Amino acid sequence: MGARNRVTSFLFHHFMGLEDKLSRQEAVVAVIGMGYVGLPLALNFARAGLSTIGLDIDPEKVRTLNAGGSYIEHIDAGRIAAVREAGTFEATSDFARLHAADAIIICVPTPLTKHRDPDLSYVINTVEALLPHLRAGQLVSLESTTYPGTTDEELLPRIAAKGFTIGEDFHLVFSPEREDPGNPNFTNSTIPKVIGGVTPACLRAGLALYGKVCVQLVPVSSPRTAEFTKLLENIYRSVNIGLVNEMKVVADHMGVDIWEVIEAAKTKPFGFTPFYPGPGLGGHCIPIDPFYLTWKAKEYQLHTRFIELAGEVNESMPHYVVRRVVETLNAQRKAVKGSRILLLGLAYKSNVDDCRESPAFRLLDLLSEQGAELDYYDPHVPKVPRTREHAQWAGKPSIPWTREAVSGYDCTVIVTAHRAYRLEEIVEWCDPIVDTRNALGSTPSRPGQVLKA
Which residues are annotated as catalytic?
A: 285
Amino acid, res. 166: I
Residue 143 neighbours by CB under 8 Å, 6+ apart = 37, 38, 41, 105, 106, 107, 174, 175, 176, 177
Cα gap 419→392, rounded to integer Å: 28
Cα gap 92→61, rounded to integer Å: 9
Cα gap 92→321, rounded to integer Å: 43
Q: Are 394 and 384 a contacting pair, CB within 8 Å?
A: yes
Cα gap 149→81, rounded to integer Å: 39
User: What does 189-209 look like in DSSP terms, one character per residue?
Assistant: TTS-EEEEESSHHHHHHHHHH
CA nearest to 248, candidates 185, 196, 141, 324: 324
Residue 90 neighbours by CB under 8 Å, 6+ apart = 52, 53, 54, 66, 84
Cα gap 348→358, rounded to integer Å: 4
Cα gap 397→210, rounded to integer Å: 40
Cα gap 399→254, rounded to integer Å: 36
140: β partners: 104, 172
Cα gap 99→20, rounded to integer Å: 19
Task: Compute how many other C-beta atoms are within 10 angstroms of the C-beta atom of residue 311.
Answer: 22
Angle between helices 359-369 and 305-331 (to 10 degrees): 50
**Which ranges of 333-420 would DSSP assign to H, the alpha helix?**
359-369, 403-406
**Separation in Å, CA 395 to CA 19, 240, 346, 366, 398:** 47, 34, 13, 19, 9
